[in-house]
Structure 1
Amino acid sequence: MADFDKEGAKNEIAESLSLSTSCMQQIGFSFKRPNRFATYYRQKLIFILCVCSICYHLFSEVVIIGLTLFNSPRVEDVVPLLHIVGYGILSIAKVFVLWYKKDVFGQLLDELADIWPMSPLEKEAQNIKNKSLSGLRIAHQWYFWLNISGVWFFNITPIAIFFFRTWRGQHAEIGFVWMSWYPFDKQQPVAHVAVYLFEMFAGHTCVMIMICTDLLFTGMASHIGMLLRLLQRRLESLANVCKTDEENYEEILTNIKLHQRLIRYCNNLEEAFSLVNLINIVLSSINICCALFVIVLLEPFMALSNKLFLGSALIQIGVLCWYADDIYHANAKVASAAYNSFWYKTSPRCRRTLLFLIQRSQKPIAFTAMKFTNISLVTYSAILTRSYSYFALLYTMYSDS
């Protein structure tokens, strides 16, 4: 790809991931090193503060769970704490992977620019590209605002409860955003304000980490699916016009090389996110189950916040499974597209070469959870089923007690 085209491709890719990049900047993270030293060290300081805040936030939640189990091990006391801890664990795992695989993600974005489809494209191919980018942009915006609204409803709920109870003439005190442990008396006025601001910051940081990593993954996965569909289009039009045998052979080789690059790219992306995917799959059922339990049976004042949390949890694991499933089926359809082409108009050499592409396409491309299981919409269905089973168990324990 020419330097001019590659620069244009990088700009289009950056625009499609603009929300993810914006969230990364809020936690002091970037794939590019800033030119100015002051900017670089300010970015590092913000990143360290964000990581330390969510680490202590998780630690304090775990301590509270331990104290609660020791003093009052009742279901209704412990369950409301679990999904917050699960969300914190997932956030720490994602920010660790984002930092540890920083160079890998930067390389993947650079490689994507090399195979990015640039204008002029034929009408059908341009429609595929436009539809994919438009759908991705809408999905990212909905996901972003749902998560942001969820965390800020949590942040303002204690204040809203205070004004509501004051309006009703009841005794009211401003509480805290989360149930956390601190090595000092957090009820003192100055400490109360400091803790409240810290908990708002920690919650916001967790959400920013979740959003930026999820949007990065779904954006890159969406682009892989788009490129696979464009490859299908190219294969379907193979030998549709009069070309020499050598031209058809070169076109087939080009398509095979593109398919191999997409497979390699997908495998690299899968390897980078594999650990996070495993933690996500394991914790999602618990997070969904506990949030549902709290909504149905406990904390009426927190109902709206927890409903937004539940919606975010469902969508978060749902989009992961959706895009993984999309790539799985898009790769399978490459074989069908090659078979539906005008291969019978080509020479035996072209047919034999095309057969290798068909055979390779029949081998699935799948995102996995550390190779334990392939991720697809079937996985999503299993997570929802498991969540309901856990909820039924908790409901039985709560009813018996």
Structure 2
Amino acid sequence: MEVSQEKAKQEIDRSLNLSFFCMRYIGFSFDEPKHRIARLLQRLWFFASIVVICSHGFSEIAFIVVTFANSPRVEDVVPLFHTLGYGILSVSKVFVLWYKKRVFKQLLSELTVIWPIAPLDDEAYSIKNQSLKALRLVHRWYFAINLSGVWFYNMTPMGIYLYQIVRGEDARLGFIWASWYPFDKTHPITHVFLYVFEILAGQNCVWVMICTDLLFSGMASHIVLLLRILQGQLKSLSVSAYTEDQCYHNIINCIKLHQRLIRYCKDIGEAFSFANLVNIILSSVNICCVVFVIVLLEPMVAISNKLFLGSALIQIGILCWYGEDIIHANANIAAAAYASDWYNMSPRCRRALYFLLQRAQKPISFTAMNFTNISLVTYTGILTRSYSYFALLYTLYSEN
């Protein structure tokens, strides 16, 4: 039993290795260091990461306030909001990561108990391999897009500076983010210090975003994987020769696994509920503002903003995709139970199967603090609101 759980833990950790990789760069881990000094250094690094992210967010808020007070024009204020929204979302996610640390650790531990370990039948083995392969592909692309996006932002001021030198213009090295500081930032030493600080702030925000999104998508993908394997087990009841006691025992095991997956999905949804709510609220604003900048303003940073748009669409899209996948995977359990050879079973087996079918007909889904279910319908609504906000901003911009 211990060997099976250890093997399951290794497979789960491999499926989430990019998430754990990003966590280490903000000084966070679900496994406590063995030595006291290592534990202290890890906590100090995590505290420093939070301070950098929060300081960056406050400086952006201050810059927006100052800009709005001096020039409340749409074209001056709107370009500042999408990076601020990304920072606020990062703060909310790092708070959830820290506050729910024990919950996430417990959920990962529970997953090792129900994880499918060899020997598996051909169908279950194929489902497991395809699910893990697809998850690795999604995680790698998401990691690459977010990382390339933040480094395009980091290098954009240098690119503009070199471009101005080549054209013989008065070249000045700018800053990465639109931030306000309570001191003179034009001094060369101060400029270098702030540039490094902004690189760290942007990179830490991206580390937080990647690690939480990959953790959520990985755990959601594993629930879908187990629901699909359960679906195959229910279908096999119609083609396998079982005695009445064996059939009843198999149905009871399916019911127990289904109940466990429902509770597991609920626990994950509650752990991420606050972050999901902030995500849904801010995504429409972030997408709207960055599209406004790409279409109408700042052609010099178009590549960076397009990468930001792509990562924003993918980020909320992954959340909604796996939410939709959970809904359909659970609904297919009821279809698989009905497709089994229930009419040839004993009354006792039919009653047990009927109980499973009834429960599977009740949808399970992730929610945003119970305000809305997370699904592709939610994603459509976010894009629709983004377009509505963009149309409003475009009208105000055209009038001015």
Q: Specify the TM-score bucket, using the shorter chain as the normaliser.
A: over 0.9
CA–CA distance in structure 2, aligned partners of residues 380 and 157 of structure 1 = 30
CA–CA distance in structure 2, aligned partners of residues 379 and 80 of structure 1 = 25
SS in 2 for 1:98: helix
1:59: which partner in 2?
Answer: 58
1:393: which partner in 2?
Answer: 392
2:356: which partner in 1?
Answer: 357
> Percent identity over the alignment?
62
CA–CA distance in structure 2, aligned partners of residues 235 and 174 of structure 1 = 64
2:113: which partner in 1?
Answer: 114
1:232 corresponds to which letter in structure 2? Q
Alignment of structure 1 residues 115-194 onto 2, 5 Å: 115-194=114-193
CA contact (8 A) 1:23 1:211 kept: yes
List structure 1 segments (4+ residues) > 3 angstroms apart after TM superposition. Answer: none
* Alpha-carbon distance, 1:239 to partner: 4.4
* Alpha-carbon distance, 1:42 to partner: 1.3
Q: TM-score, normalised by structure 1?
A: 0.99
CA contact (8 A) 1:150 1:305 kept: yes
CA–CA distance in structure 1, aligned partners of residues 177 and 29 of structure 2 = 29
Q: TM-score, normalised by structure 2?
A: 0.99
1:306: which partner in 2?
Answer: 305
1:315: which partner in 2?
Answer: 314
SS in 2 for 1:32: coil
Q: Which of 36-45 and 198-207 deviates more?
A: 36-45
CA–CA distance in structure 2, aligned partners of residues 289 and 13 of structure 1 = 37
Q: Which of 237-246 and 20-29 deviates more?
A: 237-246
CA contact (8 A) 1:239 1:346 kept: no
Number of paired residues? Answer: 400
1:98 corresponds to which letter in structure 2? L
2:383: which partner in 1?
Answer: 384
CA contact (8 A) 1:335 1:362 kept: yes
* Alpha-carbon distance, 1:243 to partner: 1.6
Q: Which runs of 5+ in 2 are unaligned?
A: none
* Alpha-carbon distance, 1:241 to partner: 2.1
Q: Which of 353-362 and 237-246 deviates more?
A: 237-246
CA–CA distance in structure 1, aligned partners of residues 200 and 293 of structure 2 = 24
CA–CA distance in structure 1, aligned partners of residues 306 and 388 of structure 2 = 19
* Alpha-carbon distance, 1:38 to partner: 1.9
1:340 corresponds to which letter in structure 2? A
* Alpha-carbon distance, 1:225 to partner: 0.4
1:307-326 Cα deviation digits (max 9, x unpaired) = 00000000000000000100
CA–CA distance in structure 2, aligned partners of residues 150 and 239 of structure 1 = 51
Residue 283 (str. 1) matches residue 300 (str. 2):
no
CA–CA distance in structure 2, aligned partners of residues 158 and 239 of structure 1 = 65
CA–CA distance in structure 2, aligned partners of residues 54 and 207 of structure 1 = 10
Q: Over aligned residues, Cα RMSD in angstroms? A: 0.6
1:381 corresponds to which letter in structure 2? T
Residue 214 (str. 1) matches residue 213 (str. 2):
yes
CA–CA distance in structure 2, aligned partners of residues 114 and 82 of structure 1 = 44
2:104: which partner in 1?
Answer: 105
CA–CA distance in structure 1, aligned partners of residues 159 and 35 of structure 2 = 43
